[in-house]
């Protein structure tokens, strides 16, 4: 592809589908969320393909999740306003109309759970009674009565599945990204069963009950580094593994009768599909999914089809369906509308580079096509840090646009990333700005070893934790970079751990550090402490309504750089929070990033 063949707008002309999908009880419709209107709204599309229908028409509210009622007469969805993450719950008819609120405490967070099998109770999680504690709520749809049957405090409590007779309900107590517990409540006797007593840090993620009510499936990593598939038996109160790949199982779904089970495995960052007929034990014939990430999966009630959200390096997240009998896979949506030929885009290569302690750091390397000579490269650090760089259409097309302009991209999964086992993930805990910064330095050294990289034109870029990593790299490894871009990144770990949402605060000491007991350590690791070392231009973008990394984190960094006479450009989006949910704002953010990089790193930047 010749440089300049496509406009920026063509790469950002996308219709993005989020990970929320749910079949109607009769299997004829799939509820899903996309931003075709410029904001994420709730839609329905017929299974097998057909004309999609839009149910909500928000411009300020962002729909985050949705489920069907058991009788199919309504849907319940979760939405927040202007990215503030104070999610509320609403009902809406599948025939259309307007969302009717279930919750109206606008300064509290509500997270959608599921329906009892008789349809009378909706479960959800909320911190409406105490902003510090997320607890399980059972909401009676007819009377509006609320039950709080599980304990609260000591972690985030979220509801799981009801057993088929509605006698039992699962809940998960989440105490960190590395540790959780599963409980079952007997609603007849009020006995609370602790299903996963353990020492140390293990994850247990409950899924669905078996149709006979004898037990339920869950993901677990006790005694191993990766999440395996397990089954808990209620009668003897024990569980055992049933699938244990040497990778994480990420999500699973079953048919209504429990005969078909399909799951997704994260194999080095790429999603793979597996499935089984539980009645015969036979493996399902499933398609080889193209390189990419499956964000979510749902099996139809009759077990004949499965819907999934699939993102690929050359295609934004789209809604797909699979015929489980034939293995045929077909798209139900259209996520790319800008006319860019996929053959002109770049699929990344999975590489590894050595770091300071002998570990090999996995990374996705994108090399621009048909470019001679040395090129500028962006080192892109993902957020989280408990997250993973995956082979997908990143940042609303930013990667592919920059590649079309002759940039290369290296996107590493530095220590602390998920997908490589809990040991690797745990290495970031209470070590922000520590060993992972050495991984970033070795990423820069790896780029310097490539003969096609211009070592004087390496940029560092990231959002959220990636923004923190960017600021750390600029202030503590200043010799490697030509510029930096920070999106919603913390700059001061002391102020950061004190300003996160109240329900997070009990977890911050074990994740980042305690602002009193670890004060000197957090000061030393904060980019703001080393701000005088910045040598290169920096772009900072911040959402004014960000509840996770508040605006003051960016304000203080920018003020210090300006006081030093440094080169910093600052944009505050008054409409957004921790990232942009409105399409026009998302495009605006990425346009600013691309124009900034072109201005400083290309000999001939694109015209504005």
Residue 497 has pLDDT above 70, yes or no: yes
pLDDT value at residue 405: 97
Residue 1 has pLDDT above 70, yes or no: no
For the stretch 334-388, pLDDT in tens is 999 999 999 999 999 999 999 999 999 999 999 999 899 999 999 999 999 999 9
Residue 225 has pLDDT above 80, yes or no: yes
**Strands (E) located in 235-304:** 238-243, 248-254, 260-267, 270-277, 293-299
pLDDT value at residue 326: 93
**Average pLDDT estimate for 210-221:** 96
Residue 4 has pLDDT above 80, yes or no: no
CA 36, chain centre distance (Å):
20
For the stretch 35-60, pLDDT in tens is 999 999 999 999 999 999 999 999 99
Instruction: Read off the pLDDT band of 578 (50, 70, 90).
Output: very high
| CB neighbours of residue 494 within 10 Å | 20
Instruction: Read off the pLDDT band of 603 (50, 70, 90).
Output: confident
pLDDT value at residue 513: 97
Residue 607 has pLDDT above 90, yes or no: no
Residue 146 has pLDDT above 60, yes or no: yes
For the stretch 263-303, pLDDT in tens is 999 999 999 999 999 999 999 999 999 999 999 999 999 99
274 close to 251: Cβ distance less than 8 angstroms: no
Distance between CA 318 and CA 358 in Å, rounded?
Answer: 39
pLDDT value at residue 608: 52
**Average pLDDT estimate for 407-427:** 98
**Average pLDDT estimate for 383-394:** 98
Residue 424 has pLDDT above 80, yes or no: yes
Residue 474 has pLDDT above 90, yes or no: yes
pLDDT value at residue 154: 86
**Average pLDDT estimate for 10-16:** 97
Distance between CA 64 and CA 74 in Å, rounded?
Answer: 17
Residue 69 has pLDDT above 80, yes or no: yes
pLDDT value at residue 606: 64
Torsion angles phi and psi, residue 532, rounded to 5: -65, -15
State which H helix or E strand residue 115 sits in: strand 110-115
Distance between CA 85 and CA 126 in Å, rounded?
Answer: 12
For the stretch 484-493, pLDDT in tens is 999 999 999 9
553 close to 495: Cβ distance less than 8 angstroms: yes
pLDDT value at residue 155: 87
Distance between CA 558 and CA 540 in Å, rounded?
Answer: 8
- Give all strands of the β-sheet with 270-277 in edge-to-edge order: 248-254, 260-267, 270-277
Instruction: Read off the pLDDT band of 2 (50, 70, 90).
Output: low
**Average pLDDT estimate for 122-128:** 97
59 close to 75: Cβ distance less than 8 angstroms: no
Distance between CA 202 and CA 183 in Å, rounded?
Answer: 14
Q: What is the three-state SS of 337-383?
A: CCCCCHHHCCCCEEEEEECCCCCEEEEEEECCCCCCCCEEEEEEECC
**Strands (E) located in 372-425:** 375-381, 408-412
What percentage of the chain reaches a pLDDT higher than 70?
A: 99
321 close to 46: Cβ distance less than 8 angstroms: no
pLDDT value at residue 85: 95
**Average pLDDT estimate for 400-405:** 98
For the stretch 527-544, pLDDT in tens is 999 999 999 999 999 999
pLDDT value at residue 3: 65
| CB neighbours of residue 98 within 10 Å | 10
Distance between CA 228 and CA 205 in Å, rounded?
Answer: 10
CA 300, chain centre distance (Å):
24
**Average pLDDT estimate for 498-522:** 95
pLDDT value at residue 153: 86
Domains in the chain (CATH in brackets) are 14-244 (2.120.10.30), 245-334 (no CATH), 359-601 (3.40.50.1820)
Distance separating the N- and C-terminal Cα atoms of the chain = 21
Strand partners, 17: 34
């Amino acid at each position: 592809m010749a440089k300049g063949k496509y406009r920026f707008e063509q790469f950002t002309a996308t219709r993005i589908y989020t990970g929320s999908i749910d079949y109607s009880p009769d299997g004829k419709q799939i509820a899903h969320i996309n931003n075709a209107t410029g904001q994420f709204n709730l839609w329905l599309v017929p299974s097998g393909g057909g004309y999609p229908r839009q149910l909500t028409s928000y411009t300020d509210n962002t729909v985050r999740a949705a489920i069907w009622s058991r009788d199919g007469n309504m849907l319940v969805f979760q939405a927040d306003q202007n990215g503030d993450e104070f999610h509320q719950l609403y009902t809406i008819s599948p025939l259309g109309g307007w969302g009717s609120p279930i919750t109206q405490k606008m300064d509290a967070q509500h997270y959608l759970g599921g329906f009892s099998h008789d349809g009378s109770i909706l479960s959800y999680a909320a911190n409406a009674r105490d902003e510090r504690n997320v607890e399980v709520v059972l909401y009676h749809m007819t009377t509006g009565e609320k039950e709080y049957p599980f304990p609260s405090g000591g972690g985030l409590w979220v509801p799981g599945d009801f057993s088929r007779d509605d006698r039992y309900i699962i809940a998960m107590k989440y105490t960190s990204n590395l540790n959780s517990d599963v409980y079952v409540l007997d609603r007849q006797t009020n006995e609370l069963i602790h299903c996963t007593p353990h020492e140390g840090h293990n994850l247990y993620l409950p899924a669905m009950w078996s149709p006979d009510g004898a037990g339920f499936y869950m993901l677990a990593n006790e005694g191993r580094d990766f999440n395996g598939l397990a089954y808990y038996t209620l009668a003897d109160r024990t569980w055992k593994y049933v699938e244990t790949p040497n990778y994480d199982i990420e999500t699973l779904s079953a048919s209504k009768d429990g005969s078909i089970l399909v799951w997704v495995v994260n194999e080095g960052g790429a999603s793979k599909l597996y499935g089984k007929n539980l009645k015969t034990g036979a493996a399902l014939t499933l398609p080889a999914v193209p390189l990419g990430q499956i964000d979510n999966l749902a099996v139809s009630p009759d077990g004949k089809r499965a819907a999934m959200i699939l993102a690929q390096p050359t295609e934004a997240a789209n809604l797909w369906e699979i015929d489980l009998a034939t293995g045929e896979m077909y798209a139900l949506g259209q996520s790319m509308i800008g006319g860019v030929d996929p053959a002109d885009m770049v699929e990344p290569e999975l590489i590894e580079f050595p770091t300071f302690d002998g570990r090999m750091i996995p990374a996705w390397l994108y090399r621009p096509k048909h470019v001679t000579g040395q090129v500028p490269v962006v080192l892109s650090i993902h957020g989280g840090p408990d997250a993973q760089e995956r082979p997908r259409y990143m940042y609303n097309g930013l990667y592919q646009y920059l590649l079309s302009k002759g940039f290369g991209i290296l996107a590493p999964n530095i220590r602390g990333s998920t997908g490589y086992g809990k040991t690797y993930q745990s290495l970031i805990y209470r070590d922000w700005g520590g060993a992972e910064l050495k991984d970033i330095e070795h990423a820069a050294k790896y780029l310097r070893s490539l003969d096609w990289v211009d070592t004087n034109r390496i940029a560092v870029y990231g959002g959220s934790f990636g923004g923190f990593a960017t600021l750390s790299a600029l202030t503590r490894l200043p010799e490697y970079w030509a510029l930096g871009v920070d999106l919603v990144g913390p700059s001061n770990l002391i102020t950061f751990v004190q300003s996160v949402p109240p329900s997070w605060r009990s977890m911050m000491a074990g994740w980042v550090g305690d602002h009193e007991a670890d004060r000197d350590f957090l000061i030393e690791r904060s980019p703001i402490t080393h701000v005088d070392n910045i040598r290169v231009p920096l772009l900072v973008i911040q959402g004014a309504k960000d509840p996770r990394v508040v605006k003051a984190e960016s304000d203080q960094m920018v003020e210090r750089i300006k006081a030093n006479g440094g080169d910093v450009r600052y944009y505050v989006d008054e409409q957004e929070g921790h990232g942009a949910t409105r399409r026009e704002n998302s495009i605006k953010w990425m346009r600013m990033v691309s124009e900034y990089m072109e201005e400083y790193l290309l000999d001939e930047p694109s015209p504005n």
